[in-house]
Amino acid sequence: IKKDHLINALDVEIDEESIRLIALRQPKARDLRFIITAMKITTDLERMGDLAENIAERAIELNEEPQLKPYIDIPRMADIAQEMVRGALDAFVKCSRVPYELIKKDDEVDKLNVQVFNELLFYMIQDPRTVPRAMRISYVAKYLERIADHATNIAEMVIYMCEGKIIRHTEISEGR
C-alpha cells in the first residue's frame, strides 16, 4: 500500500523513456511493437497495483469482522489471476504463444465473480446486517476480476508484439 507512488512514478518514467526512444531512434517494426507493448503493459501493471492496494484495504477491514462464509472462490480467483499475470509477463519476456491460453482463463475468473456475487446476494437478502461485509467481499472479487482483465490485456499486447496481430475486440480475445 505504501509504495503505490513508486509504481506510479515508474509508469510515467517508462512512458517518457519510450517516447524518447521512438522520437530519437525511429525503431523499425519489431522494436516499435516492443516499445508500444512495454508502454501499454506498464499502464496495466500500474492499474493492477492500484487494485492490489484496494484488495489489501478491504482485507484489513474484513479481518476485523467475523467471517461471513468460507472464502473458497476468492482464493481460487486470486490463484487464477496471479497465474495469468505471471504467465503474461513470462510470455512478454520470452515472446511465446502462451498468451492464447491465458486469455481463455479470464472467462473462468468472470464466472467465479458472478458466482461469488450471487452467493453474497443470497446472504444480503437473508440478513441485511451482512450487507457491509458482503459488499467488501464483492469488491475484492471484482478487483480480482479486473486484475485478470488487465492480465488479458497484457497477453493480447504480447501477441501483438510477437506476431504483429492485434486481437483486441476479436473473437480470439473474447473466447469464441
* Share above pLDDT 90 across residues of the chain, in percent, rounded to a whole number: 62
The pLDDT value recorded for residue 1 is 56
What is the CATH T-level fold of the domain 4-163, as seen in this structure? Methane Monooxygenase Hydroxylase; Chain G, domain 1 (1.20.58)
For residue 106 the three cell numbers come to: 479470464
Give ∠ CA 154-160-165 in degrees, rounded to 5: 135
Task: Please give the mean pLDDT across all residues of the chain.
Answer: 89
Distances (CA, A) of 69 to 72, 83, 144: 9, 25, 18
Per residue in 40-74, pLDDT tens?
999 999 999 999 999 999 999 999 988 887 788 99
The pLDDT value recorded for residue 23 is 84
- pLDDT(176) > 70: no
Q: Which of 122, 119, 171, 140 is nearest to 74 (CA)?
A: 140
Q: Which of 172, 43, 159, 171 is nearest to 91 (CA)?
A: 159
The interaxial angle of helices 131-163 and 73-94, nearest 10 deg, is 20
Distances (CA, A) of 118 to 18, 21, 81, 148: 44, 48, 20, 20
Q: Is the pTM of this model over 0.85?
A: yes
- pLDDT(172) > 70: no
